[in-house]
Structure 1
Amino acid sequence: MLKPEDNERLTRVGAGTPGGDLFRRYWMPALMSSEMPDRDGAPVRVRLLGEDLIAFRDSNNEIGLVAAFCPHRRAPMFFGRNEEAGLRCVYHGWKFNTHGDCVDMPSEPAGSALRDKAKINSYPCIEKGGIIWTYMGPKDKMPAPPDYEWMRAPQTHRHVSKTFEDCNYLQAMEGGLDTAHSSYAHNNNLATKNEPRQRDRSPRLDVERTDYGYRYVSFRDLKDGNYYMRIYHYVMPFQQFRGGIHKFDGSRREFPELNGHIWVPIDDTTTYVYNWACAYDENAAFSEENIIEREYFYGRGPDQLIPGTFKLKANKSNDYFIDRQVQKTKTYTGIEGVNTQDFALQEGMGKIVDRSLEHLGTSDKAIVTMRRLMMEAIADVAEGRDPRGLDPASHGGVRPYDGFMKTSDDWQVVFADEVVAKW
């Protein structure tokens, strides 16, 4: 469990909070490239770490991320004209470039000194892996851009989606880092007893700290001289790498992949989850049918979302369409969609969990370690040190994996080649 004051440090992300100061030291997803595909296209509202912002792609294909309100009279920049390499406020015509400089002020006399003073707050952006990333921290502390392996996969071998989750980022991320719950919440066939996650429902965890966060391994004893292994990575401050190579019968999938999530705080009580997947190698390009199939499996297919949003139709307001008869006879939860099952439990905890009331067990080792790393990182930032995971070299060469091995073997030897990035 956590002391209430430590829970506050970890869950509050606004400007000036300890957690907010930590997040502002990393590059973070602001939106997907597909949300803003066209030069001089419509501006897009963005809320990130409690700040209201506006994103736009200018005439030169540069990305701007600026404050939501004009510094003149606080008019909303969402209604601005995106034209000729800048975003122009439609109230009085003041125009700003992607760096926040005022480049035109037609309502004032020519040569007015006010133009040089009237900057709009802006954050630098880069575009990688189908995502527009931003850095919101001190300029002199800005790290090199991230270089995760999945970013380097060709577009034909990579897929990214995004969903809205109505709770604090930490309980959402803890759900992703928790491997034991898959034996229960994601048991989608009660009749099947031979799946590895059902043959051993209390996996043993090894957690190894690294420069980027940690690597953790779950061992499930199949009682036949073999382990089912899952090798994950937690990359600070908010990302998980996960393997998806083998089927439960031990055979390789037709489209072996790596996948994971990035849990980005919109504010203290809401989160955007970026869901990424990339092919294991060049022989497993993603077809459109494959992408659609996997998104529906998780519960976030196109017609499973509320139109014009990233919100699931199955949500708290309708109890996630739980079917109690299905729960009795077919699946553990009676809820369709792996991510929908997660959301029901994580959102159902409330906006921000009171972790002082918890009773943790051995299967929570990865979550406990993550919390400690985050608390240490918060202290590092407060005391002028760099937190873990800023250097792209620390995370660029690692990959997750799942597979099978004999209980007498050393997993680090068996899977040595598999946990090294190939893209």
Structure 2
Amino acid sequence: MLSREDNDFLTQSGPGTPMGALMRRFWMPALLGAELPERDGPPKKIRLLGEDLLAFRASDGRVGIVEPHCPHRGANLYYGRNEECGLRCAFHGWKFDVDGNCIDLPTSPPESSYKDTIKLLAYPTREWGDIVWAYMGPREHMPELPQLEFGLVPAASRYVTKKWQDCNWVQSLEGGIDTAHFSFLHAVLTRDEKEALALYSRSAALGDQSRPDDRIRWVRNDPRPKFSVLGHETGLVIGGARRTDTTDLYWRIAQFLMPNHAFAPAAMPGEVYYGQCWVPVSDTDCWIYTYSWRPDRPFTNAERTQFAGGFGVHAEVDSDYMPLRNLRNDYLLDRQIQKRETFTGIQGVSEQDAAIQDSQGPVQDRTREHLGPTDIGIVEFRKLVMGAARALQRGEEPRATRAAKRYAVRSGGWVADPAKDLAAVMTERFGHRHGYVGHEHGLGE
């Protein structure tokens, strides 16, 4: 458990907070590129790390993310005109580009240099991997974009979505790296292997199911995986080993990447890789960006249709990215299905996760928790991010910001001899003890 002070330290990310300062040293997903489909289109209100902002796509295609209030007399630029590479205030026509520069001041004499002294707060942006990223920290410490593999593969080989979540980002992320819950939360009740396969395949709970009967049985029969954790430059490798039908162990290995990314543990070779990024809106809600990718080939239309169906890792959402099954309608929990078919009676892996994470409250009270042996990954995650935030308070920059290429890692499943430790299993599975695959994308070693 944590003290009240430590729980606040861990979960608060607004301006002026230690964790907020840490997160602002990294590039944050701000919105999907598809949310700004039109050059000179209407600006979009966004909220990121407790800050109200506006996003707009300029005439040249660049995206600006700026404070919403004009520095003249505080009018909201949301009501302004997006035209000719700038956002013009509807009140007196002051105009600003994507970098916050005042490029037209029609209320001042033409010869005046006053506009050169006016600046609108603007955050640097990059559009990459179907996401618009923003950097909200000190310019002198701005790092390279993290080279996550989903952004390195061709666009046809990735699928990116987002969804709203009604709780603090930390408890949702902790649910993502807690792979022990798969024996329960995503379980089916039937013992019939074919029926279990059909239910699991519908929810995509274990990846593509190359040997689904074995993996379903192993996860169901061993609810006490033994965990090991490896630290590396950009995060943690979190491996949980379960018993199989032989003396071998079935490893499900997740990755946590600073400060708010995690990769799912299920994929075997030739299957789909999944990752998520949790971005605080405020201290009591967040956006979750979910990305799937195939390093070996493009996705088929059938695979994309399956993702869009919203019963797996990608949630089924409305036009505002609100999940159709959410806190407001109790995730459409069906007690008859819960009684006879699935552990929760809720459809969709994403929704099953959300229901439990939201049920912990807007911000989980960690002063009352009692951790156990399967929570090692949670403990190490907290130590890492809180340690990095405290180090930043002492003036030490987070080392992950200097290792953008080391974000090109993979997670996944593997069956291995019990004599092999996690590092050996990772090397056997991925060719690198930390799952680094940068050589495949020309990043070097």
1:47-81 per-position Cα deviation (integer Å, ceiling 9, x unaligned): 10010111111111221110011111221212221
Among 391, 396, 404, the residue aligned to 1:380: 391
The structure-2 alpha-carbon separation of the partners of 1:195 and 1:169, relative to structure 1 and needing over 3 Å to count, comes to same
> Partner residue of 2:251?
229
Q: Does 1:417 align with 2:431?
A: yes
1:245 lines up with 2:267 in the alignment: yes
Alpha-carbon distance between aligned partners in 2 of 1:245 and 1:178, rounded to the nearest angstrom = 16
How far the C-alpha of 1:257 sits from its partner, in A, is 1.4
Match of 1:142 in 2: 142
Counterpart of 2:280 (choices 255, 265, 288) is: 265
Report percent identity of matched pairs.
38
Q: Is the 8 A contact 1:99 1:123 kept in 2?
A: yes
SS at match of 2:397: coil
- Give the TM-score of the pair, scaled to structure 1: 0.93
Deviation string for 1:215-268 (max 9, x for gaps)? 11111111422221122211010001234434xxxxx66xx1111100001111
Structure 1 residue 334 and structure 2 residue 345: aligned?
A: yes
Q: So what's the TM-score if we normalise by structure 2? A: 0.88
CA contact (8 A) 1:245 1:401 kept: yes
Q: Which residue of 2 aligns with 1:305?
A: 317
Alignment: residue pair count: 411
1:286 is aligned to 2:299: yes
Query: 1:174 & 1:279 partners in 2: Cα distance?
Result: 25
Structure 1 residues 366-375 or 68-77, which shifts more? 68-77
Q: SS of the counterpart of 2:2? A: coil
Contact 1:13 1:49 in 2 (8 A): yes
1:53/1:412 CA distance change after superposition, 3 Å: closer
Q: Per the alignment, do residues 118 and 97 of structure 1 end up closer, same or farther by CA in structure 2, a change over 3 Å counting?
A: same
Distance 1:43 1:102 in 2: 17
Measure, in 1, the Cα distance between the counterparts of 2:108 and 2:189. 69
Partner of 1:320: 331
Tell me how far apart the structure 1 counterparts of residues 45 and 140 of structure 2 sit (CA, whole Å): 27
Following superposition, the deviation at residue 297 of structure 1 comes to 2.2
Native 8 Å contact 1:49 1:266 kept in 2: yes
Alignment partner, residue 12 of structure 1: 12
| 1:364 and 2:386 are equivalent in the alignment | no
Unaligned runs of 5+ in 1: 247-251
Q: Structure 2 vs 1, CA of residues 412 and 62 (structure 1 numbering), >3 Å: closer, same or farther?
A: closer
- RMSD of aligned Cα (Å): 1.8
Cα distance in 1 for partners of 2:426, 2:334 equals 43
Equivalent position of 1:102 in the other structure:
102
Correspondence 1:386-401 to 2 at 5 A: 386-393=397-404, 395-401=406-412
**Partner residue, 1:249:** none
Which secondary structure state, in structure 2, belongs to the residue aligned with residue 85 of structure 1? coil
Note the residue ranges of structure 2 that are not aligned, 5 or more in a row.
194-215
Deviation at 1:300, TM superposition (A): 4.8
In structure 2, the CA distance between the partners of 1:70 and 1:279, relative to structure 1 (3 Å rule), is same
Cα distance change, pair 272–128 in 1 and its aligned pair in 2 (3 A): same
- SS state of the match for residue 298, structure 1? coil
Partner residue of 2:358 out of 341, 347, 361: 347
Q: How far apart are residue 99 of structure 1 and its match?
A: 0.8
SS of the residue corresponding to residue 275 of structure 1 reads strand
SS at match of 1:415: helix
